[in-house]
Amino acid sequence: MQQLIHIQRQFRMTVYVLLATTMLSIGAGLYTYITSLQMVKESRQKIYVLDNGQSLLLALRADISENRSAEARHHVKRFHELFFTLEPDKAYIENNIREALYLADKSAMKQYRTFKENNLYNRVIASDISMTLQSDSIRVDFSTYPYRFHYYGRQKIVRKSNTTIRQLITSGQLRNISRTDNNTHGFLIEGWMINDNSDLQTTRRTNF
């Protein structure tokens, strides 16, 4: 009888040990699974960027998402500065226009050809004209895609005899594309058009 009781106790002990081992195994498995999920989630929030092929920089994807609106405005601003900043230097003009055309579709090329047909660039070079652009505001609507934008700025045109301030209002759309060396923000301007480019004031320059 005592031997039977002893066997039963050993059996119960064995069952308890097996249950405890099973529970610990399940707990360890769940912990490992949850930890792995968390690590994967955190890794997806990070990207790695090579800095000139030398150092490895860590950037958070969340920061990129938060800065997307700022990138959109800067993309629009950069395009207009390149397209409308002209100096009496053929190489300078061609370089600016080439960089600007990487940021927009054929609508920008169409406007460039119009300026070229109207002899704008030759007149800038021949008459020593300088044209600079000051951005006033850039509005981008992220509620719909492609993102609609409106650009507001003032163009300063300096000639030998006078200085003209000209209003510049344009509009278009932004489409997401892959980032490249020539388009670091990953946007492409589409359907770009000039809505207003009228003179605001002209003043004579004083020659010394």
Nearest Cα to Cα of residue 172 among 200, 153, 197, 151: 151
Give the pLDDT confidence score for residue 181 in this predicted structure: 94
Instruction: Give the strand pairing for 147-158 and 162-176.
Output: antiparallel
The model's pLDDT over 88-140, given as tens digits with 9 standing for 90+, comes to 999 999 999 999 999 999 999 999 999 999 999 999 999 999 999 999 999 99
The model's pLDDT over 60-93, given as tens digits with 9 standing for 90+, comes to 454 555 688 999 999 999 999 999 999 999 999 9
| DSSP state at residue 146 | S
Integer angstrom CA distances of residue 65 from 38, 71, 75, 187, 206: 20, 10, 15, 14, 50
- 46-50, Cβ contacts within 8 angstroms, sequence gap of 24 or more: none
Confidence of residue 34 (pLDDT cuts 50, 70, 90): confident
Give the pLDDT confidence score for residue 57 in this predicted structure: 47
Give the pLDDT confidence score for residue 22 in this predicted structure: 77
